[in-house]
Structure 1
Amino acid sequence: MSRREAKSVTATLPAGVDAPVFAEPWQAEAFAMTVALHDKGLFSWSEWADALSAEVRKPGVASDGHDYYEHWLAALENLLSAKGVAGKGDVDSLAAAWERAAHSTPHGKPILLDNDPGPTEGRGGPTG
C-alpha cells in the first residue's frame, strides 16, 4: 500500500481510529495464522506472549515499532520450530519457494506455489 493509499484509507476510518491496524497484508496474515494455530491448541497465549516478548526485547528493535510484525513473524517461526511443526529450514525453504513463485507469476495473476520453478542452483539458471 502506498502512502497516498494509506492516507486515503485513514481519511475514511471511523472516528477515534487513527490508522489501519496492519500496514501490509502479510501482517494481517501472520496475525491470523497465529490466532488459528492457538485455536488449534498448538500453543497457549502465555507461550505466545513469552515468544513475542523475547523477540521484541532483542537488540536493534525499532523504537517507533515499524518492525513489530517482523518480530511477530520471528516469534511464530520460533514456536513452530519449538513445537516440532516446522523447523527453520522448512520455513526458509517454503518462503523461498513462494518468492520464486512470485517472481515467476505474470503481473496481475494470482501467485500460486505451483508457479515455483524450483531452485536454480546447479540447473544452469540465469547466472549460468
Structure 2
Amino acid sequence: MDKKSYLEKAIAWAEKKSTVSLRAVTSDYEDPKSFTNTDTKETIRPDLSFTTHGGAKHYTDVALKDENPQRLVTRWKLLSMMASLKRGKLHLLAPKGHKRFTERLVNRYNINANIYSL
C-alpha cells in the first residue's frame, strides 16, 4: 500500500482534533508548508499540518517502513524541531505492520514525536 491510501484515515484522525486550519497533501486541501534542508537541499513537507486554537502548529506524517531509514530520521527530526518552535508536536501515524519500525527509529534517534496506530 502506498502513502496516499492512508492519507484519508490520517485526515479523519486530524479532523477529530480541535483544529483551526488543516493542510494536507491531497487535492481537497491546501498543501502544508515545506522546508528545505540546507545541507542536502532536499525539500521536506509533512503529510498534514494543523493549527490548534492556542496557535500551536502540529505536523503529522504517515510513518511507513523505508529502505532508507536515515532519510526518515532526518525528516522527522526537522518536523519535530519545527513543531516544537511553534509550541506544537510531531504526530506519526503508523499503519498496521509499521508501528514497531517507527517506535524503534523514534527511540533510537531520540525524536520527540507521538506515535499513533492508524
TM-score, length-scaled by structure 2: 0.31
TM-score, length-scaled by structure 1: 0.30
Q: Which has the higher helix share?
A: 1
**Which structure is richer in relative contact order (CA contacts within 8 A, separation 6 or more)?**
2
